[in-house]
Amino acid sequence: MVRPRTKEEPDTGPQGSSTPDWVNHTDEQLLQMRICDLKLKISGTELESRIEIFYHELEQKEIAFKPVCYLGDEWFCPDGASTIAIPFYLAHPRLKKLEERMMMEVEGGTEAWCMQLLRHEMGHVLNHAYLLAKEPLWQTLFGPPSLDYSESFRARPHSKRFVRHLEGWYAQSHPEEDFAETVAIWLTPRLDWRRQYRGWKALDKLEYVDGLMRRLAGKPAVVVSRARMSEASRLRSRLELYYKRRRRLYAQDFPDFFDSDLRRLFVESSVAPSAGRAAPFLRRSRKAILDAVSGWTGEPKFTVNRLLRALTERCAELDLRVGNDSSAVEITAYLATLASHYRLTGKFKKS
């Protein structure tokens, strides 16, 4: 998760600790506020303690360099910088609640998930601070860092050449993400990665990182850039526009669903007129289906929800009913197939 380089930005000082007025705003009122006017800070939030735990993990691994963590618009490490941006919505429970409503999940909202992401971004920080990607062995193991990033990549779910850390086989998306994910596994406390990855090609990468970190133990960074990009205190966009942009990013142009697929999952009203309607059944099962499909495919819940909503609306139009063989398991498998096909090919269905 790397952003292009930007110019140095000065630190911002601590802000007031009183409860902000917007805490009691409705969602609609909150969406009209500018991000910079939220006056957010890390100090005094749950993020502060999590960052302290993260720094302690670095000390335990004898990593001398501690990156500056700041509030940005998403999780990322600016290209070439040694800073970590954390989404501003994690700085307050009210904003986390809004994030869940707008995007259906809160990335890094739990302590475990937050720590995973901090360790991942630390991989990018180490790469930048010690110029690691310039090493020939780094490029032999992970690939050329000059490769273009792609939002859609051909994942290989069963490949043992990559570690498994963040969902969606993220290590396979780019050589720099592969390295960051490998570092994250290596950083994870009490994880016996040698046992877990025994027999995997990915173990060669982990052993390389282990040797590399031993060599760098206690050494200062070669390059230190405190660059901050998209710092929350400087973002003048209203929350409404912020979410409009993000939702557009996750939205897809969905193909027309084959009615034959839906008729295999459900039955015609003429066949079972007294059976329950499929559309309400899908709405009741929505949360469980979303959790399962997003968890196993790595696709954002917002994207999966749009798929499920389109399918539900079509079921209502066709007046399909729940048959004896209809189940949430079947529809979950169907949605997972569509999402996985998109992950592998960039399309939800074959042309």
Beta bridge partners of 34: 238
Cα distance between residue 83 and residue 78, in whole Å = 7
Per-residue pLDDT averaged across 106-116, rounded? 96
- How confident is residue 257, by pLDDT bands cut at 50, 70 and 90? low
Residue 338 or 205, more confident: 205
Q: How far apart are CA 313 and CA 322, in angstroms?
A: 15
Instruction: State pTM to two decimals.
Output: 0.77
Query: Between β-strands 2-3 and 83-87, what pairing exists: parallel, antiparallel or unpaired?
Result: unpaired
Q: Decide if 182 contacts 202 (C-beta within 8 A).
A: yes
Expressed in angstroms, the distance from the first to the final Cα of the chain is 31
- pLDDT for the residue 347: 61
The predicted structure's pLDDT at residue 10 = 38
* Residue 346 confidence (pLDDT): 61
* Tens digit of each residue's pLDDT (9 = 90 or more) over 283-331: 899 889 998 988 888 888 887 888 888 888 888 888 999 987 767 888 8
Structure tokens that stand for 101 in this block: 């409503």
* Contact yes or no for 9/231 (Cβ under 8 A): yes
Q: What is the pLDDT of residue 344?
A: 65
Nearest to 63 by CA among 226, 183, 178, 203: 183
Q: What is the pLDDT of residue 33?
A: 98
Quick one: which of 14, 232, 2 has its CA closest to 123?
A: 2
pLDDT in tens, 202-233: 999 999 999 999 999 999 999 999 999 999 99
Give the per-residue pLDDT at 196.
97
* Range list of β-strands (E), 90-156: none
Sorted by sequence, the CB contacts under 8 Å of residue 272 that are 6+ apart come out as 321, 323
